[in-house]
Structure 1
Amino acid sequence: MLTKVISDFGSGRVRATTVAISDPGPLERYLSAKEPGSAFLRRGEGFVGLGEVARFETDYIDTADVWWTEIATQIDHDSELPGASGIGPLAVGSFAFDPDRSAFRSVLTIPRTIIGRRGGQYWLTQIGEHRNQTLPAPGDAPRFPEHLDLGHGTVTQDEWAGIVARCVELIRQGDIHKVVLARDLIAKADGPIDLRAVLGRLIERYPMTWTYLVDGMVGATPELLVRVADGLVTSRVLAGTISVDPDHTDPLAKAAQLARSTKDIREHEFAVESVAQALEPFCRAMNVPEAPSVLPLPNVLHLATDITGVADADVSALRLAAALHPSAAVCGTPTHLALDTIAAIENMDRGRYAGPVGWVDTEGDGEWAIALRGGYSGPDAPDQIRLFAGAGIVADSQPGAELEETRAKFVPMLQALGLD
């Protein structure tokens, strides 16, 4: 079942205008509490979206791709800038991890106004007639509630460690190679939580990640599911993690430990193989590095592999996201058995955590990350936010070590909420 809510799109055509602007400064400051907003930023580049001219709620990414392909043909785009990936009208989305078992709908929206920065270019895109081609004023200042309480989520830490132990037993039976298990925490405030403030702190502390704000989902993910730009496909696979405390441990020694870890290397190989197999039918050529590198973040180190390829004609970033999700990095392998195991023992609805989050343009180019290191706050409970973290479980996983990994992965959001 799917639902469309469309305001400015009907049977006729819609006009979009893109103009060059001077450097607008930090893009996140244009988000306002008075209207829906979205953001997808990394190292100061990307965009924020203000308002909505169209909204599409669905269960499946494939359906959203069909809808956006149709809508994109109705947009007449006038631009002062040369054609380039991501400059102009966009659809911004966040998708459920397991739509067959989730009460949460996936969503794709089209912002009314987009303010962007990339590669020394700055632009303003507006959709609809009689648009003012001047930069909007910054939004009101984000505010945090004065008090936040952090409680356990669907299960306690001890209960989750027991779930991990049960999962290891299932894996050792031989049919499943890896399962990614997640847990949640719930923070409650004395007033509505302004996700713009959370976003701002994540941007400040984790500029090397993809920081996102889409329909109640906010976070700072290090994992790029897929990027398509002018025919080039890129996917960053992260699997295999070790926590780092720079004040008390040597990051280089930790990196060497991670690179030698049989458990983490095996977990990473499963993830790389799943992404490469999913991309292959859509690419004329591919490059898969033989060995991973170590990606450093302030709180953890990851084994990382960047897979690249040349996309077949007319393959959109959203179509590739549908093919890639869920990868072994967030689900497990074999995929169908891992999904069944998660549904049977994880004891919670992930919603859109660990699902694709990102954008696609009218030519099909786009960037889709995996919604990790984040949380969700919805209109039904604006005074609380649900945080998520997960860990890849293989045959030699230890429940205590996996629990510690999730603690490290909660850190970015806890910091952003002032709860670290």
Structure 2
Amino acid sequence: MSTLPAPDAPSPAAGPSVVVRTVPIDADHPLLAYLPAGLPHDELLSWVRRGEGLVGWGAALTFEAAGEGRFREAEAWWGELTRRAVVRDDVHRAGSGLVCFGSFPFASDSAEQARLVVPSTIVGRRDGHTWLTTVSLEPQLSILEDPSVAGDPEPPVDVAFADGAVSPADYAHAVAEAVQRIAAGEVDKVVLARDLVATASAPIDPRWLLRRLAERYENTWVFSVAGLVGATPELLVRRDKGLITSRVLAGTIRRTGDDAKDLALAASLARSSKDLEEHEYAVRSVAEALAPHCSSMNVPEAPFVLHLPNVMHLATDVAAVSADDASSLTLAAALHPSAAVGGTPTARAVELIAELEHMDRGRYAGPVGWMDAHGDGAWGIALRSGALDPQDSSQITLYAGCGIVAGSDPESEVAESDAKLVPMRDALTSR
């Protein structure tokens, strides 16, 4: 247990006090094990990959915004908060000190709100170092106690699946229409999504989903923000002391479970003109969006094949050096939507999504992640995910999408979307 003296309080003109303490702790349990039971699902936060990252709980401060200005308004709110915060940070790593978690709707006209959440408590881990952060709204003596490990969450009960707003047949029809529009020259690529509704007989504990996803998909970023839960393989952008990175995925093939066959499939994916074309569009859109903020950039000439338990993707890791003070959220806003989740040309592809998809994606395929007071942070694309119903936590809507190009086949795209729903389906039904 560590006791820290209270820092000097900010002046009354600075607004409400925001007092932040970060101390190193000796803890080696999995990060997700610290998430406590009994909290509302929208107060459980996560950004974890291969045992490192951040988890948080409680909601010391929250912010919501909607419309075209959602990123700008969120950035302004965070800037004002960091200016008036009183922070004592004994760790000084990316993710220590004052941190927010966030998620943003894909579309500016979505009924969903953008969310930023500052947890009351955060446990972070990086390079083997673990720390504890607490956030208080009043300047006072703070006693920091090492966090306790929570009990095992209960699995969802009696889960049943039903078509959402877009059935498989509806999706196949939308894909066929998109291929016709591509042939007519309206767009080069458009990403279409579908949904699936899962209902249990009791409230779904997001901690169960997070643990199952982390166990089975260690090469993904396992996230939870305001009831949006998932495991994304795609890093939209990370900013870490001037280094900017992005992992771009586009081009997918389903795994068979047979290692020899999967190796052959991986080779065919790497040679597929349809998938290479789709991937090129996505990489180009990321490089063009980052360029104004970078002094140099490395874009590999050819993608590699990323192997996940359910699918394989063509992947490219873009690395760049920052040329300005743009925060990780500013960079995420500049990148969204990339061709990987929107299409090419982006503006027309997004219009076509609204015309053909017939559903509100909500925060699916929008940026999700975290940011610290220095602007460093990591934002993924909210893929392989589900949104818990805010009024009925026994229900969760799952989403999956596919990039449609000239060579796309409707039945194959339905099968690909099924494969992309597997992580969340399995997390809900596994024991």
TM-score (norm 1): 0.95
User: How far off is 1:144 after superposition?
Assistant: 2.4
- Within-5 A mapping of 1:114-193: 114-128=122-136, 129-193=140-204
User: How far off is 1:34 after superposition?
Assistant: 2.9
- Indicate which of 356, 370, 375 corresponds to 1:345: 356
Contact 1:53–1:127, Cα closer than 8 Å, also in 2: yes
Contact 1:255–1:294, Cα closer than 8 Å, also in 2: yes
Task: Answer yes or no: is 1:45 the counterpart of 2:52.
Answer: yes
- Within-5 A mapping of 1:30-41: 30-35=34-39, 36-41=43-48
Amino acid at match of 1:211: V
What's the counterpart of residue 19 of structure 2? 15
Large movers: runs of 4+ above 6 Å: none
What's the counterpart of residue 3 of structure 2? none
Q: Residue 73 of structure 1: SS of its match in structure 2?
A: helix
Q: Residue 147 of structure 1: SS of its match in structure 2?
A: coil
Task: Answer yes or no: is 1:205 the counterpart of 2:216.
Answer: yes
Within 1, Cα distance between the matches of 2:399 and 2:346?
21
Within 2, Cα distance between the matches of 1:155 and 1:215?
24
TM-score (norm 2): 0.92
Within 1, Cα distance between the matches of 2:405 and 2:144?
54
Q: Residue 274 of structure 1: SS of its match in structure 2?
A: helix
- Within-5 A mapping of 1:203-242: 203-242=214-253
Within 2, Cα distance between the matches of 1:373 and 1:241?
13
* CA distance 1:248–1:122, shift in 2 (3 Å): closer
What's the counterpart of residue 73 of structure 1? 83
Amino acid at match of 1:334: P
> Which range moves more in the overlay, 349-358 or 151-160?
151-160
5+ unaligned residues in a row in structure 1: which ranges? 1-8
Within 2, Cα distance between the matches of 1:252 and 1:140?
40
C-alpha RMSD over aligned residues: 1.5
Within 2, Cα distance between the matches of 1:140 and 1:120?
23
Q: Residue 17 of structure 1: SS of its match in structure 2?
A: strand
Contact 1:274–1:327, Cα closer than 8 Å, also in 2: yes
Contact 1:99–1:105, Cα closer than 8 Å, also in 2: no
Q: How many residues align?
A: 410
User: How far off is 1:203 after superposition?
Assistant: 0.7
What's the counterpart of residue 32 of structure 2? 28
Task: Answer yes or no: is 1:58 the counterpart of 2:61.
Answer: no
What's the counterpart of residue 94 of structure 1? 103
Within 2, Cα distance between the matches of 1:271 and 1:140?
42
Amino acid at match of 2:131: W
Amino acid at match of 2:145: T
User: How far off is 1:155 after superposition?
Assistant: 2.4
User: How far off is 1:338 after superposition?
Assistant: 0.6
Contact 2:47–2:221, Cα closer than 8 Å, also in 1: yes
Deviations 1:54-104 (A, max 9, x none): 1000121121111111111111211222x221122201001000022x111
User: How far off is 1:278 after superposition?
Assistant: 0.3
User: How far off is 1:248 after superposition?
Assistant: 7.6
Within 2, Cα distance between the matches of 1:63 and 1:289?
35
* CA distance 1:12–1:106, shift in 2 (3 Å): closer
User: How far off is 1:285 after superposition?
Assistant: 0.9
User: How far off is 1:120 after superposition?
Assistant: 1.4
Within 2, Cα distance between the matches of 1:146 and 1:269?
43
> Which range moves more in the overlay, 228-237 or 306-315?
306-315
Amino acid at match of 1:402: E
What's the counterpart of residue 7 of structure 2? none
- Within-5 A mapping of 1:293-304: 293-304=304-315
5+ unaligned residues in a row in structure 2: which ranges? 1-12
